[in-house]
Amino acid sequence: MINFNLSEEQELLKKTAKDFAKNELLEGAVNRDENKIWPKEQISKMANLGFLGMMVNPKWDGGGMDTISYSIAMEEIAAVDASAAVVMSVNNSLVCYLIEHFGSDFQKEKYLKKLASGSNIGAFSLSEPQSGSDASNMITTAIKDGNHYILNGTKNWVTNGINSDLVLVFAITEKGIGHRGISCFIVEKGLSGFECGKAENKLGIRASDTCELYFDNVKISEENRIGEEGEGFKIALSTLDGGRIGIASQALGIASASLYHSIQYSKEREQFGKPIANNQSIQFKLADMAMELEAARLLTWKAAWMKDQHKNFSAIASMAKVYASEVAMRASTQCVQIHGGYGYIAETGVERLMRDAKITQIYEGTSEIQRVVIARSLL
Ligand SMILES: Cc1cc2nc3c(=O)[nH]c(=O)nc-3n(C[C@H](O)[C@H](O)[C@H](O)COP(=O)(O)OP(=O)(O)OC[C@H]3O[C@@H](n4cnc5c(N)ncnc54)[C@H](O)[C@@H]3O)c2cc1C
């Protein structure tokens, strides 16, 4: 009934992602993080490996892989560079997924093919300054004008906002009816009245860009509306269910890197004439990290499997995200502790894990909101 073996293809994918991360992402990761440098060259190599549209049907130039394969690759990339992993995650599980599942053939032909092959990068823009967890409380509007819409408003916290070629924007097309008045649009960069703010100066994932977007009478063709008018919020929530598996996988990568570095360092570092790993209190930290990582991975893979089986995976994806992100936070904090003072400086590279872990508890729905989703499914 249950088989925990990875397929041959998945084993090969895991190795490819691991080698890529080691050979192409590791060097310069600390510098990119410190100086907020978007990994342009590395992202284009990830595109060549097919990492930016992994689950998209090959008909639309994607990899046609399952969600477990995506989770495996995300974990390996995030273990070395969580910033590169979030670019990958947004493009795969938010942007490509949304257009493939809710877009028209015209939109798939025109936009999805370039996104899935990685020649274009996408962003997903739901949040606004006054509406985060309560996302339907948005005020950005898209008012119909003939066969166009006129978009006005401010979005914030947009990952890939600066470096993307297009953005999926959620806006109100009918006021006064709450979330039933929200629609989704593909908005290309370069349209008149569309501006990006400066890159935010963040605690972690500093090499990924996050910015505000400003829309001042931006004219969008009706053929760029995804789904029917009023379906936008439902589309956003359904897409975020899958996105949470991506973020859980990013958290797994941070947790597994924390465990790896903790094992290496505790075997090397000697105090009181013996490796610190000889102390039971250090061993127990390692044991807890390994145990929690294993549990988080099983939960994440189960969520991925349920998604692939077309079962209702909303609550399990929330469980995976909240648990894996909390495991990543605990493991990275213990990793810094095991490195002592050396863990506290940038050059060692492990304080970055702790800073990067924090965001996995916040974006694509905070841990509190995930618990709301889980509790709702129970009650
Ligand atoms: C680096 C970064 C990248 C991001 N990328 C994107 C992106 O690409 N696209 C996008 O649309 N958004 C993005 N976001 C936004 C992110 O999804 C929101 O920050 C998140 O949903 C929380 O919203 P908020 O920040 O407004 O916090 P709030 O909603 O104001 O929450 C503040 C606190 O209150 C808690 N809280 C709120 N409501 C409840 C409740 N009902 N019960 C219990 N506790 C509650 C929250 O859990 C949190 O602890 C990003 C954010 C960051 C920081």
Q: Tens of pLDDT along 253-262? A: 999 999 999 9
Decide whether any atom of ligand 1 lies within 6 Å of the 95 Cβ.
no
Q: What pLDDT, in 10s, does the model give residues 316-336?
A: 999 999 999 999 999 999 999
What are 143's strand-pairing partners?
150
Give CA–CA dist 179/220, Å, rounded.
Answer: 21
Helix, strand, coil percentages, rounded to 5, for the chain: 60, 15, 25
Q: How confident is the model at residue 275 (pLDDT cuts 50, 70, 90)?
A: very high
Q: What is the pLDDT of residue 2?
A: 84
- Residue 367 CA to ligand 1 center (angstroms) comes to 9
Q: What pLDDT, in 10s, does the model give residues 119-163?
A: 999 999 999 999 999 999 999 999 999 999 999 999 999 999 999
Name the residue with the closest Cα to ligand 1, atom 7: 158
Indicate if the pLDDT at residue 251 is higher than 90: yes
Decide whether any atom of ligand 1 lies within 6 Å of the 70 Cβ.
no
SS3 138: coil
Question: Averaged over 37-60, what is the pLDDT?
Answer: 98
Counting Cα atoms < 13 Å in the Cβ hemisphere of 332 gives: 29
Using alpha carbons only, what angle is made at residue 315 by residues 365 and 238, rounded to the nearest 5 degrees?
65
Decide whether any atom of ligand 1 lies within 6 Å of the 124 Cβ.
yes
Decide whether any atom of ligand 1 lies within 6 Å of the 368 Cβ.
yes
SS3 124: strand
Name the residue with the closest Cα to ligand 1, atom 12: 127
Indicate if the pLDDT at residue 1 is higher than 80: no
Helix (H) or strand (E) run with residue 109 in it = none
> Which structure tokens are listed for 203?
């605690």
SS3 314: helix
- Residue 311 CA to ligand 1 center (angstroms) comes to 27
CA dihedral (354, 85, 14, 31) in degrees, to 10, reads -70
Q: What contacts 77, CB < 8 A, 6 or more positions away? A: 17, 20, 21, 25, 46, 51, 84, 85, 88, 253
Give CA–CA dist 311/291, Å, rounded.
Answer: 27
- Residue 363 CA to ligand 1 center (angstroms) comes to 6
Residues acting as catalytic residues: 364
CA nearest neighbour of 159 among 269, 243, 220:
243
